[in-house]
Amino acid sequence: MDEDVFNMQVRKFLKNVGVTSQREIESAVRAAVESGKLTGDETIEAKVTLSIESLGLAADINGSIDLK
């Protein structure tokens, strides 16, 4: 295995995950604020599940996002 190639590929994947996740979260929060489901000053709990079936990997990553 070429460690440099592997490292770059993992970083490329994580960049895509980060950009896509941010876009989805922002869209969902804006819609929830507009609909009145959120007021815009909450802290919301978030969870991402990372899985790679071929490796048997399943890891939950938990966190919170302050809106104000």
Read off the pTM. Answer: 0.88
Look at residue 52 in the predicted model and tell me its pLDDT. 98
Q: Which residues contact 60 (CB under 8 A, 6 or more apart)?
A: 47, 48, 49, 50
Look at residue 14 in the predicted model and tell me its pLDDT. 98
**Sign (positive or negative) of CA dihedral 37, 40, 44, 49:** positive
Stretch 11-30: mean pLDDT: 98
Stretch 18-36: mean pLDDT: 98
d(CA 63, CA 37): 20
